[in-house]
Each structure stands twice: as C-alpha cells, then as structure tokens.
C-alpha cells in the first residue's frame, strides 16, 4: 500500500480529522435555527461515529446492471464542472466528517483499489492534491450513516477538464462495481471541498447589472415561487480557473430536488439570457434562514476582548445580552433615547429574535409588540445567562489553578529565613503573585455579584416588513425586513454611547477600521441608498470588530422562525404559499474580507453597523442593524437604521432623539468622491 495512504489510514484510525490547509467555513448546522432563519458560519465540534463500519456491497444479482457503462453514465453527477461524482451527490455545502477505524479492514483489496485509482487518474492527467480518502459527506440536517461514506478525490479544476473527470469517475465506478463495492465517489476541486467559494459585493459602478436585475426580478421570483427557496443573493462569486463572476446564488431547502436542475434553473438561465444579463446561477442547500444568535444547538463562545468587559458599567456597545432564563445570546447594539409623554426613556437596542423567548406567551407571534400592554414581556440581562455562567466558571478554574501554583511556591520557601538569599531572590515574585491572586479573587467577586439586569423588555417589531421610500418604484411590491427589540435601562444600569478601542485597518486587515475612531461618541444615524456600496464596520459579541462592504444589489430572503416540510402549491395559491414559507423581503448584504469572509457570526445578532468611509456627514454614524447571514454565500444581512427608527416610532408612539437623524449619505459611486 502506498505510504501516503498508510498515513491517511493512521489518521483515520486515531479519530483525527485529516489536516486542512484552508480554514473550513462554518457551515449550516444541524438543528440550529439557521436553519430556522439566517445564520452564520460557526465552529463545529468533530462528529465521531462509533458504530461498526461495514463495506457496502451490492447483491450478486445486480452486478451486470451496475457494471453496464451506460447505466453508470446515467448516474454520473456532472451538474458542477468542478465536482463530478457517482451517484448523485448532495448539493453543496455539505458537512464532512472522517471515520476512525481503518477502512482497509472493511474493504476487500483496498490497497489494490488505491493503486487502480491512482492509475486511472494518471491516465486522464488528473493531478491528485492528496491521496484518496473516505469521509462522511451529507447535508446538514441529514444523519451520517454508512450510506454517507464517500471516496473523496481532491484535484484542481482546469479549463475544459470536465470530460476527463467524468471519464475517470466512470472507470473508478466500474472497478468498484465489479468488486461489489458501492461507495459514493466524489472528484472535486480542493477549493470547493475545504471552503465555500469566495464572494464579493456587486459594485455601484455595475449599473447595467443593477438595472437589469431590477427589471428581471419580478419574473425571476414568479419562476421560483413554488420552490422552497430561502435566500437570493446577487454577488460576484469565485469560480475555479476564472475571475469572479456576477452570480445569482439561490439557497434552498429543496436544492436536491430534480425539478430545480431539470426545469427551474434552465428556465431561469433562459430568462436572464432573454434580458441580455450575463450572470451565472448557483444553487446551494440551506436548511432554513438562521439568525446570528447562539442557542444550545448553535453555540459559539464570546470574543475574549468583549468578554473581558462583560461586567463594566456602563455597558459597552457590542456586549453580550439575552433574556433572563433563556439559553440564547446576542449582541446589545447601542443606546436609544425615546421621548414620550414629556419624559425621556433610556433603552437598549438589539434584535427581536435575540429576545424572542420573552414573547412566547404573546399573540400574534409575528408582532408588533407595543409598550404598555398590561402584560410584561420579560427581563433583559447582560451578559446573557449562558455567557455569564461560562465566564464565571472560567474565572473560577483560572483562580484555582493560579492558587494551587501559588501555594506550592509558598511551601517551597516557607522554611527559609527572611535574610536567606534564596528567599530574597524570590520575594518580589511571591509578592507579585499574591497581588495577582487577590486581583483574580476580586474579579470573580465582581462577576458573581454584578447586577446583570438591564431592565424590562419595552417593545419589539416581531417578524414584519415595511416599505423603503428610497428604493426603486419597480421593487415597492417587496417590503424590507424588520427585526428589532428595545429594553428599558433601569438604574443603576446604563449603556455607554461611546466606542471603546477600535483596531486600525493598517494593523488588522480583516477587522480594522479606516475612519471609525476609538472613544468616539455614537449619537447619530444616517440613510443610505439601496443601490450603492458603503464601507462598514461593526462590533459584535462573538467576533468583536469586523469590516466589510455592502453590495449594490440587495438580498431577498424569506423571513420565518421555524422549519417546515416541503410543500408545492399552484400559482393561484401564492398568498397561502407565502404564509407558509414566509413572504419575500429585502435586506442589505454585507461581504467581509478575504481575511475574515463572514462579517457576522452566531452571537453577533443585534450589532449596529457603522459607516467607515469619508462622507458628507461628519462623525460616526449608524447605517444599519445586523441580524443574519448565509454561510454558503458569505453574505451577512443588515436592516437599514432609518427603517428601524421609523418603525420604533410607529410602534411605541414616541420620538427617537438619540441617535439623531444626520441625513442621507452622498458619495459619487463612480469616483467615490464626497458629494454635498
């Protein structure tokens, strides 16, 4: 057996994942509500499956059928030129987990098959990036069983190599069939295996694309109205061997349905071609829109820089928050001052879905939830229950370890005289350690006794939509998403209106700001165009500071907070269909950087998004409220702040006096110059 394969098998036998050269993107997670609404990639714990592994063999009576080349050719999956397989593969993105026991023990003549595979790939000039290996490959939400075991072949897609890849997979499948082995086969470009393909925003200068897409969008939505789609992003997307291409990225629960590939996608391509739009179309699997908060099933830890300031008063912009008694965590965005009935209320802003557990007994569940209903909604806390519990546990463990080391050091020197040189040389270190232990004890006491209660939840939008007066009249039939929640700030709690430390772009390429300053006051918001680019930054509970750019083409998603089974309805039942699957709504799409592709991660829901470029409006300005993301397209989603403020005033009957309205941002989309 080749030495490289022995190395792979050794890793498999030790229950270790095969090393990756590129960070695996955080994909959609089984059971997470991103999957019940929009989500972020989040780190996943390895899945180790301990059930006995059996070689999947075919019945003897089926050999002739499966060894027939024509039959194999019909089952070859060539839907993506850079991913060829047998039989039909699950639509990307998929989860990948590796098996512990040595597969050679369960696959007859395994070493021989590896040599045969090497020879077939060499015959068709297909360069292997790694030796062949087996892995479980399935969509999130699908149980990993032996039927998910896939022979993975990694290569680099080159122009016009698809025919060679297809021939190679056919021959490998033929050899497996003759041996009575029925593992799935997947030959894939290694970039598409290790991560989602990179994306970038559509620029304001792409006027033909922006105007053409606006024109074709109604017919596009009509074509897919009976499909179970979740989001439609229009972005520039990486494609092996080519520069980034404008691409319509459709994320759908039923992406594995043959109707998409046999009818819907060809019809959509014809529609784009008929309107002279040179745009690719990609279909991805997404179990459901998942909001960027953490839950029991979708857990991420807070950023250390954010966690270190959990117990500060006033509370920091971008700190952790949640509902008392809930396992969910999100981000406290900023302070809101609302003038109502001759009094001024101090409120905290986050997303409705972060505080949704506080509204479980309310009807209707979609909202809105105005103040003064006679039934209190619940209590907001910071940090969230789960973040507080984990942080305090970590402090105790750290203190215990330090105390043990300190006591051992004292024991070693307790019999030394005060004038003993050995004691004199260590005295200062012991005294410093004593001071450190006292400081750790004080930090723990402060955390344990910290008054986490912010106050009663005051009002919320629920899951609703509103109009955007700055959007083209052609698109006014589609509303914009609303997802906000306010909590009363009760003394002695307060929320700072001042930013803490803000990293600089020159030092931190993926997260540093260009214009937003450390210590700046955030007391204003501004309006932005729905069809222009803006450089932005945000501070969130999970990822702290990240930077990005809004796309000049807005995303359309279906807002809902629960997963539903597939359903087909005729066009004349469109209203009922929208009630079942969620009505299409617009949101702004934000793309991160190459260093940090995902602008928002789970736990960042509720982050305010700040303008980070020169403009006609001096000072730091809020332009939106982050609430969700799509891990397959790397897009994060934002609701415009002026729409948030307008709806707050409608629902509460008050007037928002902070942040104040600083007007509309004016920047020339051709030159980037500031306009008056």
pLDDT, tens digit (0-9, with 9 covering 90-100), for 640-670: 999 999 999 999 999 999 999 999 998 776 6
Q: How many CA within 13 A on the CB side of residue 319?
A: 29
Q: Which residues contact 626 (CB under 8 A, 6 or more apart)?
A: 292, 331, 538, 540, 590, 599, 600, 604, 605, 606, 607, 608, 609, 636, 637, 638
Q: Considering the chain, what is the average pLDDT of its residues?
A: 83
DSSP 560: -
**CA–CA distance, 529 with 471 (Å, rounded to integer):** 8
Q: What is the pLDDT of residue 297?
A: 62
Q: Are 488 and 345 in contact (CB under 8 A)?
A: yes
- 3 state DSSP class of 426: helix
Quick one: average pLDDT of 406-410? 83
The region of weakest confidence among 136-140, 472-476, 561-565, 668-672 is 561-565
- Tell me the C-alpha to C-alpha distance, in Å, between residue 496 and each of 348, 478, 520, 627: 10, 36, 11, 21
Q: Per-residue pLDDT for 487 more than 90?
A: yes
- 3 state DSSP class of 397: helix
Which sign, positive or negative, has the C-alpha torsion 37, 318, 487, 370?
negative
Q: What is the pLDDT of residue 242?
A: 81
546: which strand partners? Answer: 538
Q: What is the pLDDT of residue 469?
A: 77
Q: Per-residue pLDDT for 429 more than 90?
A: no
pLDDT tens-digit map of 506-519: 888 778 999 999 99
pLDDT tens-digit map of 358-401: 987 776 667 899 997 777 899 999 999 999 999 999 999 999 99
pLDDT tens-digit map of 430-439: 888 889 999 9
Q: What is the pLDDT of residue 568?
A: 38
| Greatest mean pLDDT range, 15-29, 139-153, 339-353 | 339-353
Look at 458 and 3; give whichever has higher pLDDT: 458
Q: What is the pLDDT of residue 385?
A: 97
Q: Per-residue pLDDT for 100 more than 80?
A: no
Q: Per-residue pLDDT for 60 more than 60?
A: no
Look at 28 and 630; give whichever has higher pLDDT: 630
Q: How many CB atoms lie within 10 A of CB 661?
A: 15
Within 224-342, residue ranges assigned H as helices are 258-259, 265-274, 304-307
Please report, rounded to a whole number, the percentage of residues in the chain having pLDDT higher than 70. 79
- If pLDDT is split at 50, 70 and 90, which confidence band does 475 have? low
**CA–CA distance, 4 with 459 (Å, rounded to integer):** 61
Angle at 451 between CA 445 and CA 456, to 5 degrees: 160
**CA–CA distance, 510 with 506 (Å, rounded to integer):** 10
The region of weakest confidence among 21-35, 176-190, 352-366, 457-471 is 21-35
Structure tokens at 238: 């990486």
pLDDT tens-digit map of 253-269: 999 999 999 999 999 99
- If pLDDT is split at 50, 70 and 90, which confidence band does 502 have? very high
Q: What is the pLDDT of residue 109?
A: 75
- Tell me the C-alpha to C-alpha distance, in Å, between residue 624 and each of 259, 322, 364, 638: 37, 20, 26, 6
Q: Per-residue pLDDT for 95 more than 60?
A: yes
- 3 state DSSP class of 522: coil
Q: What is the pLDDT of residue 140?
A: 85
Look at 57 and 631; give whichever has higher pLDDT: 631
Q: What is the pLDDT of residue 145?
A: 82
Q: What is the pLDDT of residue 292?
A: 60
Look at 316 and 7; give whichever has higher pLDDT: 316
- If pLDDT is split at 50, 70 and 90, which confidence band does 92 have? very high
Quick one: average pLDDT of 300-316? 95
Q: Which residues contact 6 (CB under 8 A, 6 or more apart)?
A: none
Q: Per-residue pLDDT for 63 more than 60?
A: no
Q: What is the pLDDT of residue 182?
A: 85
CA 558 to chain centre: 16
- Tell me the C-alpha to C-alpha distance, in Å, between residue 328 and each of 128, 179, 296, 604, 609: 44, 51, 7, 12, 21
The position carrying tokens 């994909």 is: 27
**CA–CA distance, 146 with 267 (Å, rounded to integer):** 36
């Amino acid at each position: 057996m080749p030495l490289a394969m022995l190395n792979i098998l050794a890793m498999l036998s030790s229950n270790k994942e095969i090393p990756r050269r590129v960070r695996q993107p955080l994909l959609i997670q089984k059971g997470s509500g991103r999957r019940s609404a929009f989500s972020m990639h989040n780190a996943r714990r390895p899945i180790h499956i301990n059930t006995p592994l059996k070689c999947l063999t075919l019945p003897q009576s089926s050999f002739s059928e499966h060894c027939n080349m024509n039959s194999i050719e019909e089952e070859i999956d060539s839907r993506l030129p850079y991913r060829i397989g047998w039989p039909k593969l699950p639509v990307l993105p998929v989860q990948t987990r590796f098996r512990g026991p040595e597969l050679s023990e369960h696959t007859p003549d395994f070493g021989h098959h590896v040599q045969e595979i090497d020879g077939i790939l060499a015959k068709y000039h297909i360069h292997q990036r790694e030796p062949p290996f087996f892995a479980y490959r399935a969509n999130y939400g699908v149980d990993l069983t032996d039927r998910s075991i896939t022979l993975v072949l990694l290569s680099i897609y080159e122009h016009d190599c698809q025919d060679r890849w297809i021939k190679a997979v056919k021959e490998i499948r033929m050899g497996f069939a003759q041996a009575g082995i029925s593992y799935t086969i997947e030959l894939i470009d290694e970039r598409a295996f290790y991560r989602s393909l990179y994306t970038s925003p559509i620029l304001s200068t792409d006027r033909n694309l922006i105007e053409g897409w606006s024109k074709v969008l109604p017919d596009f939505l009509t074509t897919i109205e009976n499909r179970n789609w979740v989001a439609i992003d229009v972005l520039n997307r990486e494609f092996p061997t080519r520069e980034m291409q404008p691409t319509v990225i459709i994320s759908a629960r039923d992406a594995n349905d043959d109707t998409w590939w046999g009818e819907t996608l060809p019809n959509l391509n014809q529609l784009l071609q008929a309107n002279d739009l040179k745009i690719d179309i990609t279909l991805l699997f997404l179990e459901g829109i998942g909001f960027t908060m953490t839950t029991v099933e979708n857990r991420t830890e807070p950023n250390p820089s954010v966690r270190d300031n959990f117990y500060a008063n006033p509370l920091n912009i971008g700190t952790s928050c949640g509902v008392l008694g809930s396992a969910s965590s999100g981000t406290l965005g900023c302070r809101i001052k609302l003038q109502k009935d001759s009094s001024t209320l101090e409120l905290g802003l986050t997303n409705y879905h972060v505080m949704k557990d506080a509204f479980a007994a309310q009807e209707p569940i979609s909202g809105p939830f105005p103040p003064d209903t006679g039934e209190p909604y619940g209590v907001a806390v910071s940090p969230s229950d789960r973040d507080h519990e984990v942080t305090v546990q970590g402090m105790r463990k750290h203190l215990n370890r330090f105390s043990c080391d300190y006591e051992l050091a004292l024991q070693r020197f307790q019999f030394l005289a005060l004038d003993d040189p050995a004691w004199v040389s260590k005295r200062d270190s012991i005294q410093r350690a004593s001071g450190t232990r006292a400081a750790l004890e004080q930090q723990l006491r402060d955390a344990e006794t910290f008054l986490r209660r912010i106050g009663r939840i005051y009002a919320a939008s629920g899951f609703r939509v509103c109009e955007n007066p700055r959007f083209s009249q052609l698109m006014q039939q589609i509303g914009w998403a609303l997802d906000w929640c306010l909590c009363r700030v009760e003394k002695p709690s307060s929320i700072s209106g001042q930013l803490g430390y803000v990293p600089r772009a020159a030092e931190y390429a993926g997260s540093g700001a260009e214009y937003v300053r450390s210590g700046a006051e955030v007391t204003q918001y501004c309006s932005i165009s729905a069809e222009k680019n803006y450089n932005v930054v945000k501070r969130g509970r999970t990822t702290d500071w990240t930077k990005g750019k809004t796309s000049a083409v807005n995303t359309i998603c279906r807002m809902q907070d629960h997963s539903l089974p597939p359903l087909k309805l005729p066009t004349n039942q469109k209203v009922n269909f929208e009630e079942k699957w969620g009505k299409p709504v617009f949101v702004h799409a934000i793309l991160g950087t190459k260093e940090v592709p995902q602008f928002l991660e789970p736990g960042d829901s509720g982050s305010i998004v700040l303008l980070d470029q020169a403009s006609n409006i001096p000072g730091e300005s809020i332009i939106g409220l982050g609430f969700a993301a799509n891990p397959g397209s790397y897009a994060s989603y934002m609701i415009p702040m002026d729409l948030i403020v307008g709806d707050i005033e409608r629902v509460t009957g008050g007037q928002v006096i902070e942040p104040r309205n600083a007007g509309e941002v004016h920047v020339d989309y051709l030159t980037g110059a500031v306009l008056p």
